[in-house]
Amino acid sequence: MNNLQKLLSLAQTAASNAYCPYSHFSVGAAIESTDGKFYSGCNVENISFPVGTCAEAGAIAAMIANGSTKIQNILIYAPSQKLITPCGACRQRIAEFSTPETIIYLAGIDGISKSYGINELLPSSFSEF
């Protein structure tokens, strides 16, 4: 299994564990850090909508909690034909822990279909590069 397949598998598993009783829309994210480790997260909704957590935020939190600090690749998956992109807040979260080489992959039920560099997804971000 190559690294992209591993990211897809991790994101799919995370999405299957999402807590989404309100939207019924599960999302999973998986990160390969620059030190070669893998992390995942899923969306976790709350009846008070602003305090829910996006899948990307969960994956980033897992990465930081386990000692990695930079994203090499991140894959966002939703079991949908339409690809979803990170929300604005998550774009900035991803940028915070990215390098200029970070790639963001988008996947749906048809597999990995699109990729972006961080500067394409969030031009003119608050970042150190």
Measuring CA to CA, how many Å separate 119 from each of 7, 86, 90, 95, 101? 21, 13, 14, 8, 9
56 is catalytic: yes
Please tell me which residue in 45, 56, 101, 128 is annotated as part of the active site.
Answer: 56
DSSP annotation string for 57-75: HHHHHHHHHTT---EEEEE
- The DSSP output letter for 2 is -
Taking a C-beta distance cutoff of 8 angstroms, is the pair 54, 87 a contact?
Answer: yes
Measuring CA to CA, how many Å separate 83 from each of 33, 77, 99? 23, 8, 24
- Residue whose pair of structure tokens reads 């998956």 in the numeric block: 77
Number of Cβ within 10 Å of residue 129's Cβ equals: 11
Domain ranges, ordered by start, for the chain: 3-121
pLDDT single digits (tens) 81-95: 999 999 999 999 999
pLDDT single digits (tens) 96-112: 999 999 999 999 999 99
Architecture of domain 3-121: 3-Layer(aba) Sandwich (3.40)
pLDDT single digits (tens) 53-64: 999 999 999 999
Closest CA to 14 of 75, 87, 88: 75
Which pTM does this prediction carry? 0.94
3-class DSSP assignment, residue 49: helix
Tell me which of 49 and 52 has the higher pLDDT: 52
